[in-house]
Amino acid sequence: MLSVRDSISRHSTVLDGVWNFKVDSHNSGFAKNWEAQPLRDTRPMAVPGSYNDVTVDADVHDHVGVVWYERTAIAPKYGEDRLILRFGSVTHEAVVFINGTQVATHKGGYLPFEADITELVKPGEEFRLTVAVDNRLLWQSIPPGYIDQNEAGEDVQHYWHDFYNYAGIHRSVRLYTRPAVHVSDVTIVTDIAGADGIVKYEVIAEGARKIAVRVLDPKGTQVATADGATGEIRVSNADFWAPGHGALYTLEITADEDVYPQRFGIRTVEIKDHQFLINGKPFYFRGYGRHEDNIIRGKGHDNVMMVHDFEVMKWQAANSFRTSHYPYAEEVMDYADEQGFVVIDETPAVGLNMSIGGGIFGNQGFTTFSPETANDATRAVHEQEIRDLIKRDKNHPCVVIWSIANEPETHTDASREYFAPLAQAAREADPTRPVGYVNVMISTPEKEKITDLFDVIMLNRYYGWYVDTGALGDAEKHLRDEIDGWLKLFPNKPIIFTEYGPDTLSGQKDYFRRPWSEEFQEDMIEMFHKVFDDYPEVVGEQMWNFADFQTTPGIMRVGGNKKGMFTRDRLPKTNAYKVRQRWIQMRDQLGW
Ligand code: BDP
């Protein structure tokens, strides 16, 4: 889905602010047609944001089910154009009404959706916008979960991913106008020929009589033009997008009356002899798995936090991150393009593994793939998530790998049956980028059954923490053994470590450098880095996690997951300085 962009033919307004809000305590609002009237007995709620931590009311924080948001707005003048209402994301399911009439439903908490509301509003007149938001996770949602009841008969939500189930209207809500005949999609694929860039484009604009494009360089100067819905353009002496160099061109598309500016970067991505090449040069990933997580706002997008997080990552000389464990806000992807950060883009398929719980322990008492648990319907939803993610993010030069799942079950025949069509779907949706999934520690090379379907090996490993706890000598041996095992089976696939690191309580100091201390984090991370340096096939280190983050409470988590390089308020743990030194050195040696 195209992002909202202003142009001569498109105008947008943002509907963020303080909305009316109401918890649907008995999940009976639909039956009672709450949308038909203005909501009664509401309380204020900020949009965008997770609602959970904004109030200090457990009935809001812990509610399982539906909450309602509402505001009024004035419809702009849109003449002959269409008026579109667009949500960046609503977690996890949304039903949207205009003056009581349903205009959209959407499942999946991390991708955008929109509705044409032209016929339901009048320019200059006020209308009521009501959004019912459901936070429930079930076996047929991605991520999955289930609900049972406690002794008091209340619903209790269970899920298997290690981050808090924040919910709400997480990203901006916009109203925008566009002509009836309009650009609805564009795919841009680039190549490099010497000093020139090759730009292939394909525009979809149903009903358009005439389609023309022009290419603007990063300074905004026109460098090429072409006619037609598809074409190939040569940009001579191009300014290539590269890690650390966010050079962005614009393909300005005109389809009859509509003008849509699509940004892109000219760059190539390729895997060759276990190397990961960007613009033909070996690239080494330095960075983290991250979360959209912050104090009070939960998963709500916030530009202050976004810019700050990138500043912190740059301070540390990181060059990449993974959008663990779901698609991030479009603003983040745009900013990564601009800042020249390299991104592994992940679907929300996390927690599809009944052999593990938050962390890696514990059988969950279910079979992962079965008609009653993750089944064909789940897979269809998962496939849609893959296709929609690729549709949204395909033109971002920052995206270099699609990660279709995090730590799923992959050691059974059922898992191969589940994943083979999904790997295929990702390749169909984007034949140009490597596809992978992130492998869990119990899916060792001897047991794992799906790596041959993918281009890269992405490993989350906790030697020294969940196993060999505190025993770094043993941990190192086991880590080396495992890498050797992968190389034997797949000598030509690059390996990226997408998670490693111990929980570390900021301020916990220890002469004996034991687990949970800041000293132990330094030692364990250093051990991993020493091992990586011995293997040219390891082409990336993305530690877990950029910052401490909120999880469900449990005996393994103290106020959340503490594996951050930084605290939840983004202050450095001791290890951050050490890693900074290493990464600055690597940047100086390898280029960005
Ligand atoms: C892995 C998961 C990640 C967890 C992490 C941990 O991919 O979401 O937060 O381990 O246990 O299992 O800290």
Q: Of 264, 259, 95, 106, which Cα lies nearest the Cα of 177?
A: 259
Q: Which of 460, 500, 521 to probe ligand 1 with, by most ligand atoms within 8 A of CB?
A: 460
Which atom of ligand 1 is found nearest the CA of 563? 13
Looking at ligand 1, which residue's alpha carbon is closest to its atom 9? Answer: 162
Q: What tokens were used for 71?
A: 């505001």
CB atoms within 10 A of CB 342: 27
CB atoms within 10 A of CB 246: 18
Distance in angstroms (rounded) separating the CA atoms of residues 497 and 235: 36
Q: Which of 344, 407, 409 to probe ligand 1 with, by most ligand atoms within 8 A of CB?
A: 407
Residue 482 a catalytic site member: no
Select which of 330, 448, 499, 541 is catalytic.
Answer: 499
Q: SS3 breakdown of the chain: % helix, strand, coil, rounded to 5?
A: 20, 35, 45
Q: What pLDDT score was predicted for residue 116?
A: 98
Q: Please give the torsion angle defined by the CA atoms of residues 235, 241, 246 and 249, in that order, rounded to the nearest 10 degrees.
A: 20
Measured in degrees and rounded to the nearest 5, phi and psi for residue 491 equal -65, -20
Question: pLDDT truncated to tens, each residue of the chain (592 aa)?
Answer: 999 999 999 999 999 999 999 999 999 999 999 999 999 999 999 999 999 999 999 999 999 999 999 999 999 999 999 999 999 999 999 999 999 999 999 999 999 999 999 999 999 999 999 999 999 999 999 999 999 999 999 999 999 999 999 999 999 999 999 999 999 999 999 999 999 999 999 999 999 999 999 999 999 999 999 999 999 999 999 999 999 999 999 999 999 999 999 999 999 999 999 999 999 999 999 999 999 999 999 999 999 999 999 999 999 999 999 999 999 999 999 999 999 999 999 999 999 999 886 556 667 789 999 999 999 999 999 999 999 999 999 999 999 999 999 999 999 999 999 999 999 999 999 999 999 999 999 999 999 999 999 999 999 999 999 999 999 999 999 999 999 999 999 999 999 999 999 999 999 999 999 999 999 999 999 999 999 999 999 999 999 999 999 999 888 999 999 999 999 999 999 999 999 999 999 999 988 7
Q: Please give the torsion angle defined by the CA atoms of residues 137, 139, 140 and 141, in that order, rounded to the nearest 10 degrees.
A: 30
Residue 407 a catalytic site member: yes
Looking at ligand 1, which residue's alpha carbon is closest to its atom 12? Answer: 359
Q: What pLDDT score was predicted for residue 357?
A: 65
Which atom of ligand 1 is found nearest the CA of 360? 12
Q: How far is the CA of 43 from the centre of ligand 1 (A)?
A: 35
Q: How far is the CA of 548 from the centre of ligand 1 (A)?
A: 12
Report DSSP state, residue 252. Answer: E
**Angle CA 275–281–284, to nearest 5:** 55
Q: How far is the CA of 162 from the centre of ligand 1 (A)?
A: 6
**3-class DSSP string for 45-81:** EEECCCCCCCCCCHHHHCCCCEEEEEEEEECCCCCCC
Q: How far is the CA of 200 from the centre of ligand 1 (A)?
A: 39
Determine the longest span between alpha carbons in the chain, in angstroms: 74
Select which of 407, 476, 522, 541 is catalytic.
Answer: 407
Report whether 540 contacts 497 (CB < 8 A).
yes
Which atom of ligand 1 is found nearest the CA of 440? 12
Looking at ligand 1, which residue's alpha carbon is closest to its atom 3? Answer: 162
Report whether 131 contacts 98 (CB < 8 A).
no
Cα within 13 Å of Cα(2), Cβ side: 23
If you write DSSP's letter for every residue of 328-347 in order, what string do you get?
PPHHHHHHHHHHT-EEEEE-
**In terms of pTM, does the model score above 0.85?**
yes
Q: How far is the CA of 469 from the centre of ligand 1 (A)?
A: 16
Residue identified by tokens 């080396």 is 480
CB atoms within 10 A of CB 167: 25
User: For residue 460, is the peptide bond before it cis, meaning its omega torsion is within 30 degrees of 0?
Assistant: no
Q: Which of 160, 164, 499 to probe ligand 1 with, by most ligand atoms within 8 A of CB?
A: 499
From residue 539, how far is each of 212, 271, 342 by CA, in Å?
41, 11, 13
Q: How far is the CA of 563 from the centre of ligand 1 (A)?
A: 9
Rg (C-alpha) for the chain, rounded Å, is 24
Q: What tokens were used for 367?
A: 């079979």
Looking at ligand 1, which residue's alpha carbon is closest to its atom 10? Answer: 359
Measured in degrees and rounded to the nearest 5, phi and psi for residue 330 equal -60, -35
The type of residue at 69 is Y
Q: How far is the CA of 178 from the centre of ligand 1 (A)?
A: 43
Which atom of ligand 1 is found nearest the CA of 561? 13
Looking at ligand 1, which residue's alpha carbon is closest to its atom 8? Answer: 162
Q: What tokens were used for 516?
A: 């949970």
Distance in angstroms (rounded) separating the CA atoms of residues 62 and 69: 17
Q: How far is the CA of 592 from the centre of ligand 1 (A)?
A: 28
From residue 362, how far is each of 58, 357, 368, 455 by CA, in Å?
28, 6, 13, 30
Which atom of ligand 1 is found nearest the CA of 407? 7
| Beta-sheet strands, E only, within 236-363 | 249-255, 258-264, 269-272, 275-278, 281-282, 285-289, 320-322, 342-346
Which residues have any ligand 1 atom within 6 Å of their CB? 162, 325, 359-360, 406-407, 460, 499, 544, 561, 563
Q: What pLDDT score was predicted for residue 360?
A: 61
Distance in angstroms (rounded) separating the CA atoms of residues 502 and 205: 50
Distance in angstroms (rounded) separating the CA atoms of residues 167 and 300: 9
